[in-house]
Structure 1
């Protein structure tokens, strides 16, 4: 099979992209300030609520084929990992609400040329969510379609969102399907089943450089205990912090193993770089395992660990190796949006902004 080679002119930004991103940052800053007034502390403008901060290890196996033995995955090795599970809302919501879940993976002790000039960290961040494709093609689509939704969602109370989600699910099941239609993808995330977060599969959604190639990544449960949680419904009687509680309960007596898999791009026409809504066909290029991530028994949400994960740590897919540089409009948007949000949060919370160099920096 022939894989698309990475080259610097793969990307093709719209001429007005930077202006679009400026407008998005302004709206999100307003949401940041509103959340600060409500909660009396700075929150992320996405992934505000965490459900667990995990310590683990990422292992790159020996014997990867040359096209997969790239960047971080070029040499067999084991790296410490800090991971943060979250919901993608920019406000603190009940876990009973359906929606997108997030995963930030921070790999420690990674050396090599960095994606951004002046970055002296030795970490590699991967930002992943539970929808396979991004909901908007590029920054312009996000501004025109995503931001009005984000503005409204930041202001609606949980009961209104819960009722709207239930109504939308009923409409989709009993009306739209009869006419061969469905709820648009940007609304579909609010009717997807609410299931155990440790059984979820997470995706980068948008592409990244993969050494000499280009790829999308996914993270999937493989050990029996977490495979058993796939699709397990969240009990409506479990409370507003059910994801946090279930993560704590699980890791009190179980370990968990996940695989990180890469899907290499074969053709920029069928696997576009700039349009993050287009599915990359698995029959053209399947996801293949490049590493395992293991978490042992631990307490993932002590007060000290929660404070470190929520207030001190930041995750940004641009913090990493140039060999895994994020690609496409949505990733260029994230570079600036994540930085602006992190700066605001750390400033108003008077919290240090530190990149860990050792896993022992994560509190027990």
Structure 2
């Protein structure tokens, strides 16, 4: 195979495990335990993961002209501009003080998308991309993730002060590992992540997707000078449980933001596996290439009343989209039902209808 030749998608790139249905059912039960606990505490249901939002921003995604054939796929096949809304978050299922160091998440919803829809998103016109500020997932498959989730379910809503102390300890260990070039995604998931500014981070899909005729991972890279200047900077979270939200709000009001959406095509199924998201795909063999730009004008990134209402009305799922960007792999297949379960729980408990917006004006 010639170097950098993208693999063509076919259904047999996925390997379906015989017990996937049982694993998904057990994941839903673990998520139910988290949701029951948090909804009882808060008097409302929040997301079972990434419950705490740090900012919601509206902007436009512009798909580039003149993309080569292998990149002009799916929603990127035709140049043009789409309205978009992004949500910045931290990954826990309970709303914790920011002093607990956890990975950041960014969910991007692209509006006005056409094409054959994925199952469960019929009639919608959105495409969601859900990303985290790290290139790899911590578990090899949904069954391994289930073990971690059961532990998280047992510790939800317990010993918040103890979690802050533990986070400081784990952060010290993780900082040492980072200093010698060996960061631990597992320690970061447990509370040892640095208190980085979300707007300076690069975000990755971690798991692969169909990319029209090919297979790809997706990344969102900050490129405007104000965002690039924030890369690696940390936020003092010692005196404000919502310090990150305040920092995001200040930055978005002052500068807005400009990002590049890039894709990394799969060029070797052996070294770039579809079914093991712990494996980072070699960027020397297949670099991330820009296919679109995301522009967010200066705006208020969080207003307690308005932003809470918008956050309640929206749900994000990698299965909101078109068939040309079908999520691939065991972890992604499990996320289809678990994301829907979480959204349905929130909808039922809160009595708040959710809908996929056709335009930004539809949002609260």
TM bucket, shorter chain: over 0.9
**Aligned position for 1:212:** 213
Q: In structure 2, list runs of 5 or more residues that go unmatched.
A: none
- Map 1:342-353; keep pairs closer than 5 Å: 342-353=343-354
Distance 2:253 2:183 in 1: 39
Post-superposition offset of 1:212: 0.4
CA-CA distance at 1:157 after TM superposition: 2.9
- The answer as to whether partners of 1:53 and 1:305 remain within 8 angstroms in 2 is no
Evaluate the alpha carbon distance shift between residue 290 and residue 164 of structure 1 in structure 2; reply closer, same or farther with a 3 A threshold. Answer: same
Q: 2:50, 2:178 → 1: CA distance?
A: 31
Q: Any conservation in 2 of the 1:31–1:154 contact (CA below 8 Å)?
A: yes
- For 2:254, what is the secondary structure of its paired residue? coil
Q: Distance in 1 between matches of 2:77 and 2:289?
A: 15
TM-fit CA distance, 1:2: 1.1
- 1:134 and 1:234 map into 2 onto residues whose CA distance is 24
In structure 1, C-alpha distance between the alignment counterparts of 2:299 and 2:16, rounded to whole Å: 44
Q: Which residue of structure 2 aligns with residue 44 of structure 1?
A: 47
Deviations 1:154-211 (A, max 9, x none): 143332112112222334566x899x99685322343232111110111101001101
Shift of 1:149: 3.0
**More displaced stretch, 182-191 vs 354-363:** 182-191
C-alpha distance 252-184 of structure 1, shift in aligned 2 (>3 A): closer
- Superposed CA deviations along residues 81-107 of structure 1, whole A, max 9, x for unmatched, are 011111111001112221111111110
Residues 37, 236 of structure 1: alpha-carbon distance in 2 compared, 3 angstrom cutoff: closer
Distance (whole Å) between structure 1 residues aligned to residue 220 and residue 172 of structure 2: 31
How far 1:224 sits from its partner (Å)? Answer: 0.2
Correspondence for 2:83: 80
Cα shift at 1:302:
2.4
Aligned-partner SS, 1:9: helix
Where 1:252 maps in the other structure, the secondary structure is helix
Which residue in the other structure is 1:149 paired with?
151
* Residue of structure 1 in register with 2:185 after alignment: 185
Offset at residue 237 of structure 1 (A): 4.4
Answering whether residue 282 of structure 2 is matched by residue 281 of structure 1, we say yes
Q: Which residue is 2:171 aligned to?
A: 169
What 5-or-longer segments of structure 1 have no aligned partner?
Answer: none
- Within 5 Å, give how 1:1-364 maps onto structure 2: 1-116=4-119, 119-144=122-147, 146-171=148-173, 185-189=185-189, 190-237=191-238, 239-363=240-364
Q: How many residues are paired up?
A: 360
- Give the CA deviation at 1:240: 1.1
- 2:54 & 2:287 partners in 1: Cα distance? 30
Taking the aligned partners of 1:117 and 1:306, their CA distance within structure 2 comes to 26
Kept in 2, the 8 Å contact 1:47–1:89? The answer is yes
Residue 133 and residue 32 in structure 1: after superposition, are their counterparts in 2 closer, same or farther (change >3 A)? same
User: For 1:52-90, what per-residue CA distance to the aligned partner results, in whole angstroms no more than 9, with x for missing partners?
Assistant: 111100001111111111111111100000111111110
**Structure 1 residues 289 and 99 mapped into 2: Cα distance closer, same or farther (>3 Å)?**
same
CA distance in 2, matches of 1:283, 1:277: 18
* Counterparts of 1:238 and 1:120, CA distance in 2: 46
Superimposed CA distance per residue, residues 290-314 of structure 1 (whole angstroms, 9 cap, x where no aligned partner): 1100100111222443233321110
TM-score with structure 2 setting the length: 0.94
CA distance in 1, matches of 2:141, 2:336: 13
CA distance in 2, matches of 1:83, 1:206: 19
Q: TM-score, length-normalised on structure 1? A: 0.94
Question: Is the Cα–Cα contact under 8 Å of residues 305 and 362 in structure 1 kept in the other structure?
Answer: no
Counterparts of 2:121 and 2:316, CA distance in 1: 17
Separation in structure 1 between the aligned mates of residue 265 and residue 206 of structure 2, nearest angstrom: 13
